[in-house]
Copies of this chain bind each other. A is one copy, B any other.
Amino acid sequence: MIRTGVQKMARGLCQIMGREISKGNFNTNIGQQMTPRGTLQLPWSSINSVRTMAVLPWPFSFQPRDFSLPNSSWGSDMRRLYEHYNSQCEVETDDGEKKWGVWRRLPSYNRSLKYTTGGVYLSKIIQSKARLFTRNIREQGAAFEYVVFVNKQEQKCVCVFQAGHLLEGPPGHVHGGAIATMIDTVTGTHATYLSGPVMTANLNINYRSPIPLGSTVLLTCSLDKKEGRKTFVSCQVTNTDSSKLHTEATGLFLSITMGHLLGG
């Protein structure tokens, strides 16, 4: 029972910190992945040759909506890029067995792991109604439509992002804060995938060219370096054929311990 509880919790941890991680073999060796400092490590080496398994936001037992799947609001660019990466998520071997491809789609839910933190500020009402910032609007296509894919071999990550009409800043264009939100989300997801649970320590964002409202863009993230607890990730936001740079950014993320995660 204890082991089952740890396993459930570990699955839930993939959804915390606003990051979205799909892990195929969480059931196998999560115990060994806990360091003496309690840091949950999610090494690339542990996610081979397994099939997709949805990560439930613990302690839910029902299957929540995965917001990263296509819906009727997605435009042609969004669908085309989704298919481009999704088709490379699974390959068939010579003996007919299906295996992971070079890319992996990460599911995305609207609620992080629930537990009691926040002291006096976090009332039960707020806690029960809380929703992930990027998934807080139910109307499809109105706000953030996005799907994240990670590439193990190249240690990079892409996000296809369609910006809805509720994200306006300058007239007809996406708010700088909405762009920063997607950069934080995707660089943070990538850092989590590389280093386990992290907190954002720094974001340095250069806005080069406004993003028209309603358009689809690509966020491409790569690992710059890792130094102890620090993971440095860079990110470029471009149009769908990568010919135009809209925004570029760097992110610094600090690995955190179970103590941090549990409100310590």
Contact = CB atoms under 8 A, between A and B. Distances in A.
Contacts of A206: 201-202
Interface in A173-189: 173-178, 180-185, 188
Contacts of A245: none
A55 interface: no
A167 B137 CA distance: 11
Contacts of A185: 177
Interface in A136-181: 136-137, 142-143, 164-178, 180-181
A255 to B, nearest CB: 14
A119 B165 CA distance: 15
A102 interface: no
Contacts of A118: 172-173, 212-214
Interface stretch (A32-40, A93-101, A123-131, A225-233): A123-131
A80 interface: no
Nearest to A216: B121
Nearest to A115: B171
Contact of A131 (B165, B172, B204, B205): B165
Contacts of A143: 136
Contacts of A136: 137, 143, 166-168
Interface string A211-243: 011110000000000000000000000000000
Contacts of A142: 129
Given A181-B180, A204-B202, A169 B132 contact: yes
Interface of A: 16-18, 111-119, 121-123, 125-127, 129-134, 136-137, 142-143, 164-178, 180-185, 188, 199-207, 210, 212-215, 263
Given A133-B166, A201-B207, 19 more contacts: A18-B176, A114-B171, A116-B172, A117-B172, A117-B173, A118-B172, A118-B212, A121-B214, A122-B172, A131-B165, A132-B169, A133-B177, A136-B168, A170-B199, A176-B184, A176-B188, A177-B177, A181-B181, A200-B207
